[in-house]
Amino acid sequence: MGGDVELGRLFIDDQVEALRDILSRNEVLTDVLAGASELRLPGWNLTAGCVFQTVWNVVTGRPATEGVLDYDLFYFDASDLSWEAEDAVIQAGRARFADVPATVEIRNEARVHLWYEEKFGVPCPPHSSTESAIDSFAATTCCVGVRTDPDGRWRVYAPHGLSDVFNLVVRPNPVLAPRDVYETKTARWRTQWPSLTVLPWP
């Protein structure tokens, strides 16, 4: 794969192809994608660190899975906001991913507003989709989701584009998560990927 600057300057359709090529090098990620497709979760996306950190690894010459702590699988089901309904999905995922050598975190993004304030100290308006949940990540660089259609076609959600991801630039997204969440995350990331450019909180 070429240098990160060159990838960041590709046309967007070529960037999507480059992203697919990079993510395909992470066999854990592709296994989770296949399993998520089998589970047929509504509005699902594989997102967060497992996506952008795989890119950081590959463009800096590291093993694709290095430092990826877990695999976040979001779905959106507003028809039943009970914990019991979400837990049933989590248990089904646990059975499907039992042989995956990583933690797969499954969450119904329709329920996030029920627990977010207690965990992070600020209220979270109800999300309207998995994509709106991705929009609220603490850094715009993190706002990337991928999924596969039943025919195997990859779909990429990237409201802020992919150039920052390829260029190792972390840009704050002060729409929901508080400043301390951004700074805590970026401090940890910089210990693992020292070549990151972390832009300050506004």
Q: Which residue has the tokens 């976040």?
A: 72
Which residues in the chain land under pLDDT 50? Answer: 1-5
What is the pLDDT, as a whole number, of residue 2?
41
Decide: pTM greater than 0.85. Answer: yes
Predicted pLDDT of residue 4: 43
Tell how many helices (H) and how many strands (E) occur in the chain: 9, 7
Q: Which amino acid is at 49?
A: G
- Helices within the chain (DSSP H only): 4-8, 12-23, 27-39, 49-59, 83-96, 112-120, 130-134, 163-166, 179-192
- What is the Cα–Cα distance from 145 to 157, expressed in whole angstroms? 5
The pLDDT, as a whole number, for residue 32 is 96
> Which tens digit of pLDDT belongs to each residue from 63-111?
999 999 999 999 999 999 999 999 999 999 999 999 999 999 999 999 9
Burial of 183 (0-12, 13-18, 19+ CB in 10 A): middle
Q: Return the amino acid letter for 35.
A: G
- Note the pLDDT of residue 6: 79
Domain range annotation of the chain: 4-198
Report d(CA 32, CA 27) in Å as an integer: 9
pLDDT at 3: 44
